[in-house]
């Protein structure tokens, strides 16, 4: 299967504008932007205590024998394969999903195996409506809503006539599976209902190139986690030293903070270089001006489906029922603003100026072929955070940067979602353990995704090691942080080639696409002196404290 987020690859991108605007691209969109739960495997070994996928992180193990670790890994791997086998048995087979009457290029991000959901409009019809991506087309679900005649959706056809996915998300997993099975059947080459109705096809399909993509959901609340052990370790070493790299709580709970939902934008939306207070010299008073240490952060995020009642936690055994699908994310960060404001309450203006997500939400069923064993967790989490079913995904991620005057983008990061220490199930369960109520359309982000090697670090803070090293872009160009006019693109692609018993299975590659953003110049407030513009190169040694 190709990219669930976009055209064979998931992309979240952006161009830096001096003080104000980065165009973000989430999910490789070609347009403009302004039943029962999974058949989980039983009896899979729970989180172990050996070295996990992030091997090489100091302090992970506790002297256990290599044989024990190997046995735990083998059991977890069998669990992942069992989960995939049961998913295959429960889902549409390759004979149904391998071909569509809609023309789909070989390298398309949107084959029939993907079918991500998004919200779009067109110049001729500005009404926002829900669609599914297939090939280079968008299937308008508001036009074909009357065709949903299954036991659940026949009673809820109006969810496809909404300007956002929230109502559909709230119907739950059985409805999502019913919709996916119906759409794969409807779009298959062997199904005549839509294939042979010329007039209905004319009204139902829109070229992606002519579509304007919007946020897929009304995001009521947004939480950003800090779940990459390597990222947390790197940042801790920078600011606290190797001996105190991880805070005492980090290995016991998924750390997170409440983000700003109103400034989450769809890929393609300009992001301006933010203004704020900074303290470049600790011996002098703070200054007001444009951020000089603007950073990107490679992340992924998931949308909440059905919520929970106020005061009623979601047990981890049912957490998967509340996860609708995933997007790519760029969590833009103003490191110098963040450094000055961070203590004692954490991120504020250094984060809230903009967060970019991809327009296409890849449903979890499209990602199940890429499930892998969960990371080994030592110490063992408290009982409410323990789960045996695999819920970590092998999704290759990359970040490219293209500066003004560059003929082609340079890859600055290659990482993988499987490096996350805390799983989405643990994040969601921990979020609600105190009775906090989640709602359909809430967004929960992974935090920066960093791997064990320097080239897999998911932020420029790490890639430049707090601004002390230049990031090579080729042709003599370097960066430590983002300059005005820089374009950042995040791409995601899942591949099961190394694990699949047969390459003939309908899923081969999944790609996520988030966007392309360009950083714009900052825009000072009227009456406030214009600050000195951001330098074309940044002094080494400057950094921040925190996430």
226 is in an annotated binding site: yes
* Cβ contacts of 240-245, under 8 Å, gap ≥ 24: 242/58
Q: Judge contact between 70 and 159, C-beta under 8 A.
A: no
Picking from 170, 331, 356, 339, the residue whose alpha carbon sits closest to that of residue 256 is 331
224 is in an annotated binding site: yes
297 is in an annotated binding site: yes
CA distance 381 to 376: 10
Element (H, E) at 462: helix 460-463
| 231, 322, 430, 544: the active-site residue | 231
Q: Judge contact between 47 and 381, C-beta under 8 A.
A: yes
CA distance 54 to 285: 41
Angle at 326 between CA 323 and CA 327, to 5 degrees: 150
For 60-88, give one letter per residue: b (16+ CB within 10 A) or e. Answer: bbeeeeeeebeebbebbbbbbbbbbebbb
The residues near 512 (Cβ < 8 Å, ≥ 6 apart) are: 3, 4, 5, 6, 9, 10, 11, 27, 300, 326, 327, 328, 358, 360, 362, 395, 491, 492, 493, 494
- Which token pair is 53? 């996928």
What is the number of residues in the chain? 547
351 is in an annotated binding site: yes
448 is in an annotated binding site: yes
Q: Is 156 a catalytic residue?
A: no
136 is in an annotated binding site: no
The residues near 265 (Cβ < 8 Å, ≥ 6 apart) are: 24, 215, 271, 354, 355, 356, 357
Picking from 443, 4, 47, 460, the residue whose alpha carbon sits closest to that of residue 225 is 443
299 is in an annotated binding site: yes
- Which token pair is 427? 């994040």
User: Binding site: residue ranges?
Assistant: 224, 226, 240, 297, 299, 331, 338, 342, 351, 355, 448
User: Binding site for Ca(2+): residue ranges?
Assistant: 224, 297, 299, 331
Residues with catalytic annotation?
A: 231
User: Binding site for substrate: residue ranges?
Assistant: 226, 240, 338, 342, 448
User: Binding site for Mg(2+): residue ranges?
Assistant: 331, 351, 355
């Amino acid at each position: 299967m190709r990219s669930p987020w976009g055209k064979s690859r998931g992309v979240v991108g952006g161009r830096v504008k001096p003080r104000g605007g980065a165009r973000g691209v989430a999910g490789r969109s070609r347009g403009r932007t302004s039943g029962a739960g999974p058949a989980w495997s039983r009896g899979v070994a729970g989180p172990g205590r050996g070295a996990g996928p992030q091997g090489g992180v100091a302090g992970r193990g506790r002297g256990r024998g290599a044989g024990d670790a190997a046995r735990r890994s083998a059991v977890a791997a069998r669990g992942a394969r069992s989960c995939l086998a049961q998913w295959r048995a429960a889902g549409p087979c390759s004979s149904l999903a391998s071909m569509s009457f809609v023309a789909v290029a070989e390298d398309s991000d949107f084959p029939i195996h993907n079918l991500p959901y998004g919200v779009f409009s067109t110049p001729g019809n500005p009404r926002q409506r829900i669609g599914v991506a297939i090939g280079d087309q968008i299937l308008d679900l508001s036009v074909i809503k009357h065709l949903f005649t299954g036991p659940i959706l026949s009673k809820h056809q109006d969810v496809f006539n909404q300007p956002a996915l929230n109502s559909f998300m709230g119907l739950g997993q059985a409805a999502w599976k019913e919709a996916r099975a119906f759409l794969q059947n409807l779009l298959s080459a062997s199904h005549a209902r839509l294939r042979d109705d010329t007039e209905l096809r004319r009204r139902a399909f829109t070229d992606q190139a002519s579509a304007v993509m919007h946020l897929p959901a009304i995001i009521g609340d947004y939480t950003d986690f800090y779940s990459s052990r390597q990222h947390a370790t790197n940042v801790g070493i920078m600011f606290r030293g190797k001996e105190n790299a991880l805070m005492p709580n980090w290995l016991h709970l998924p750390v997170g903070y409440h983000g700003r939902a109103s400034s989450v934008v769809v890929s393609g939306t300009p992001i301006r270089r933010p203004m704020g207070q900074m303290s470049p010299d600790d011996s002098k008073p703070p200054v007001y001006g444009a951020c000089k240490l603007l950073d990107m952060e490679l992340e992924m995020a998931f949308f909440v489906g059905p919520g929970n009642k106020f005061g009623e936690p979601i047990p981890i055994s049912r957490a998967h029922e509340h996860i609708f699908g995933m997007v790519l994310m760029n969590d833009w960060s103003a490191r110098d603003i963040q450094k000055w404001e961070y203590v004692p309450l954490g991120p504020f203006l250094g984060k809230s100026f903009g967060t970019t997500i991809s327009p296409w939400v890849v449903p979890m069923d499209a990602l199940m072929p890429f499930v892998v064993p969960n990371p080994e967790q030592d110490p063992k989490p408290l009982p409410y955070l323990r789960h045996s079913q695999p819920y970590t995904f092998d999704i290759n991620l990359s970040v490219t940067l293209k500066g003004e005057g560059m003929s082609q983008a340079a890859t600055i990061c290659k990482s993988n979602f499987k490096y996350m220490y805390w799983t989405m199930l643990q994040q969601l369960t921990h979020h609600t353990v105190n009775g906090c109520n989640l709602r359909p359309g809430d967004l929960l982000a992974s935090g920066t995704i960093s791997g064990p090697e320097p080239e897999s670090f998911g932020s420029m803070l790490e890639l430049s090691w707090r601004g002390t090293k230049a990031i090579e872009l080729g042709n003599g160009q370097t960066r430590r942080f983002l300059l005005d006019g820089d374009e950042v693109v995040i791409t995601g692609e899942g591949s099961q080639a190394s694990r699949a018993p047969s390459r003939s299975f309908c899923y081969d590659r999944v790609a996520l696409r988030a966007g392309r953003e360009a950083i714009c110049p900052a825009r000072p407030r009227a009456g406030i002196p214009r600050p000195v513009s951001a330098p074309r190169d940044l002094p080494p040694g400057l950094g921040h404290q925190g996430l």
